[in-house]
Amino acid sequence: MKSINFKNITEFNLAQGFPEPENPLFSIGQKKLNDSEIENCVTSSDEINYTNQFYVISLKNIVSGEIIYGRTKYDCNTGTLFFSAPNQTYTVKNLVVSSASWFLAFHEDFINGLDIRKKIKSYNFFNYNVNEALHLSPKEEKIIKSIFSNIEAEYNSFQDEFSKELIISHIETLLKYADRFYKRQFLVRKELSGDLHTRFYEYLINYVDEFNLEKTGVPKIENIAKHLTISTRYLSDTLKAETGKTAIEHINLFLIEEAKDLLLKRNLTISETAYKLGFEYPQYFSRLFKNKTGMSPSEYQKSFGDN
């Protein structure tokens, strides 16, 4: 498999058919096509891995082929917005796009010393090890294209002391809208997230049934996500959007329910119950139990013993 590593934005621009950037740390471009035109972005049938040493935000209308970011295949034929952080790899295979495509690239040095540098770290769509494409509705796509156009207009205008400030402001607006649309996507795809919720709990049930709690300890979110072939952050974000609780919260609540059952078996001590549930330290189990139920494990046992 061929691999291409863009070390700088100039290399990236030239590969996209754009001129060298006016600013080596920032570039924006649009591939303008008529609606009837189609462009083959990849001339080889081989898969190509791309890695950028800078941030990239891209908007494409994909007709066929694949952009693979981790496990996710971006195969939507409406506007597809995806994000790549420095040193993350994505794969392109037989990609065909229609209509206009936008590319926005900026180096981390371009945002150093600015508030956006810290803010951008908080946007999960840049941080997923395994990403989820943002599939835009027609109205959302119109908004995003308008912001790209505003950035391009400022980029191509006479550069003055306000230029970078205005470009950064537009990028922040773009990211805020993307965050808003991602949350919409999590919420409207209830069937998908509901299925994820079901598979998540099936994993926990099987984990207990196979006595893995005693063998390997409390289930780790990283292992669950790997089993479900998604990222840990995507797992938590989806569960959070659907249920209001993160994956870790769901794991803890599941363990508390298991603990309630074990605590009513009189032949087990509090410590034995904790160890059976995979807790290395019984004190931590007791604190978690009280935090979630409002009573200690011994108080819980006693409350049922009095009934």
Q: What is the pLDDT of residue 45?
A: 54
* Per-residue pLDDT reduced to its tens digit, 168-218: 999 999 999 998 888 777 665 554 555 777 888 889 989 988 888 888 899
Domain final position from 167, 188, 209: 188
274 and 201 both lie in a single domain: yes
User: Do 67 and 87 share a domain, yes or no?
Assistant: yes
Residue/partner pairs of 107-111 with CB below 8 Å, 24 or more apart:
107/8, 107/9, 107/24, 107/25, 107/26, 107/53, 107/54, 107/55, 108/54, 108/55, 109/25, 110/23, 110/25, 110/26, 111/168
Q: Is residue 141 pLDDT above 50, yes or no? A: yes
Residue pair 27/105 in contact by the 8 Å Cβ criterion: yes
At 164 the pLDDT is 93
Q: What is the CATH number of the domain that holds 14?
A: 2.60.120
Confidence of residue 116 (pLDDT cuts 50, 70, 90): very high
153 and 8, same structural domain? yes
Residues 243 and 183 in one domain: no
Q: What mean pLDDT is predicted for residues 69-92?
A: 70
Per the confidence metrics, is the pTM higher than 0.85? no
- Could you tell me the pLDDT band of residue 75, with boundaries at 50, 70 and 90? very low
Select from 171, 188, 205 the last residue of a domain.
188
Do 10 and 135 fall into the same domain?
yes
φ, ψ dihedrals at 171, nearest 5°:
-65, -45
DSSP string, 160-181: -TTHHHHHHHHHHHHHHHHHHH
Q: Within this chain, do residues 22 and 160 fall inside the same structural domain, yes or no?
A: yes
Residues 140 and 19 in one domain: yes
Residue 239 vs residue 156, higher pLDDT: 156
Indicate if the pLDDT at residue 245 is higher than 90. Answer: no
Query: Does residue 152 share a domain with residue 93?
Result: yes
Is 141 in the same domain as 221? no
What range defines the domain where residue 238 resides?
Answer: 191-305
The mean per-residue pLDDT over the stretch 121-150 comes to 79
What pLDDT does 43 receive?
39
Q: Do 49 and 177 reside in the same domain of the chain?
A: yes
Q: Which is more confidently placed, 132 or 162?
A: 162
Say if residues 27 and 12 touch (Cβ distance below 8 Å).
yes
- Among the candidates 172, 188, 204, a domain finishes at 188
Does the pLDDT at position 131 exceed 50?
Answer: no
pLDDT at 266: 62
Asked whether residue 84 falls in the same domain as residue 152, the answer is yes
Question: Residue 301: its pLDDT value, please?
Answer: 83
CATH label of the domain that carries residue 293: 1.10.10.60
Q: What pLDDT, on a 0 to 100 scale, did the predictor assign at position 289?
A: 93
32 and 175 share one domain = yes
Residue with tokens 């498999």: 1
